[in-house]
């Protein structure tokens, strides 16, 4: 796993402390996560012992501010750790990903002081799993078309609706639920983000979905039936009524950098797998890596990977410096996830027929990375964002 130094100007914590964390994560990936990958695939579950080790390492609190029990990494630092974690199966990262990203960052960015005190310490320790409930059966890319309602009843809101493909719902201690609080609105302007404890009466979490890849990752439908929460559940308090869509977009901005880093980690692992195979496998009396057409596949993988890693770094720097990176984050998510798909295809091709067999790791990686182009905004949604911002910038 190649290492890139994060310079002192880029960090929130002491550089030596950060480098020690990187070293410990790299060792953890090699010694604990990679050996457990096949077990996770077969059992569709990350072993409890590994989950506890992740908690003890502080991995659930990478992005939570130190004052609330987290490590408080910058976006650049977080991306480096995520890249390292995603050298192993994405199922491991997924288990803590909602706590580090979309499940916690709405509270960090827009939450009240009380909400931060109540929820962030448990999220940072991993004792509370935070889940992000945005997608619905009829609304995925069209997040502004949310149908889940939160009807005002006195000083409370009553939530009804169904959320789909909600990561870590079966483990959740708290949901960030996006619901329409203005029944007359028809877009994101009437949506609020509400913090809903998972043990609130009226919540039903369905059995986990059966998926093509990332089988150790748990996603489920979550049904809300007359779920009552106080007005104080709105992220940011009553002043943020009907402003939840803005919170969601801010969270997804940083989240798309995170996904780009995931793609880079997976790309590096797949390139390493393909390179090792090219050195070992012989055809026509010599290793296939000595044949120029195979070299071309490896070269294309390496060029894509270098570009993706540089893009993640540059976008994370922009986010840390300016507090947002909307265009850059969409470019990063789009390029890096598509890049991972290209590397998966080439790496499998290097293996030939063997790559199609489940005994080889590349078959699993090929399935796992396909989802990267869908969640946190599909490639097509990223194209729309990129194009619209490009046109708007030129139009003035």
Catalytic positions, please?
Answer: 376
For every residue of 280-304, DSSP letters joined together read: H-EETTEEGGGSHHHHHHHHHHHHH
> Residue 244 has which token pair?
């939840």
Handedness of CA 137, 256, 68, 93 (dihedral sign): positive
What is the spatial distance between Cα 253 and Cα 240, in angstroms, rounded to a whole number?
Answer: 19
Angle at 149 between CA 144 and CA 154, to 5 degrees: 130
CA–CA dist 381, 55 (Å, integer): 34
d(CA 7, CA 219): 37
Tokens at residue 87, please? 């050298």
Q: In 3-state terms, what secondary structure has residue 4?
A: coil
In the block, tokens 């046109």 appear at 391
**Dist CA 241 CA 226 (whole Å):** 19
């Amino acid at each position: 796993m190649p290492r890139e130094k994060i310079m002192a100007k880029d960090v929130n914590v002491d550089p030596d402390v950060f480098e020690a964390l990187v070293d410990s994560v790299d060792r953890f990936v090699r010694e604990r996560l990679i050996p457990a990958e096949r077990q996770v695939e077969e059992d569709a579950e990350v072993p409890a012992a590994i989950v506890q080790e992740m908690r003890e390492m502080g991995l659930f609190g990478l992005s939570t501010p130190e004052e609330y029990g987290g490590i408080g990494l910058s976006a650049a630092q977080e991306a480096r750790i995520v890249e390292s974690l995603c050298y192993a199966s994405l199922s491991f990262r997924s288990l803590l990903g909602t706590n580090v990203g979309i499940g916690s960052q709405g509270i960090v960015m827009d939450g009240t002081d009380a909400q931060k005190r109540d929820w962030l310490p448990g999220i940072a320790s991993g004792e509370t799993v935070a889940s992000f409930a945005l997608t619905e059966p009829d609304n995925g890319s069209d997040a502004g078309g949310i149908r889940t309602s939160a009807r005002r009843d006195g000083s409370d809101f009553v939530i009804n609706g169904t959320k789909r493909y909600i990561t870590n719902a079966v483990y959740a201690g708290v949901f960030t639920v996006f619901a329409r609080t203005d029944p007359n609105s028809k877009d994101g302007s009437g949506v609020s983000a509400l913090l809903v404890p998972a043990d609130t009466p009226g919540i039903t979490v369905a059995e986990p979905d059966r998926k093509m890849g990332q089988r150790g990752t748990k996603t489920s439908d979550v049904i809300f039936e007359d779920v009552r929460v106080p007005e104080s559940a709105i992220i940011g308090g009553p002043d943020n009524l009907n402003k939840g869509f803005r919170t969601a977009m801010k969270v997804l901005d940083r989240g798309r950098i995170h996904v780009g880093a995931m793609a880079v980690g997976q790309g590096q692992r797949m390139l390493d797998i393909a390179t090792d195979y090219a050195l070992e496998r012989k055809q026509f009396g010599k290793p296939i890596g000595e044949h120029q057409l195979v070299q071309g596949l490896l070269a294309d993988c390496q060029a894509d990977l270098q570009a993706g890693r540089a893009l993640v770094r540059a976008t994370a720097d922009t986010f840390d410096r300016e507090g947002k990176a909307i265009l850059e984050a969409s470019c990063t998510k789009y390029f890096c996830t598509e890049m991972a798909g290209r590397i998966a295809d080439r790496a499998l091709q290097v293996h030939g027929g063997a790559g199609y067999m489940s005994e080889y790791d590349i078959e699993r990686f090929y399935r796992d990375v396909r989802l990267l182009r869908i969640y946190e905004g599909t490639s097509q949604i990223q194209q729309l964002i990129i194009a619209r911002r490009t046109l708007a910038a030129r139009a003035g």
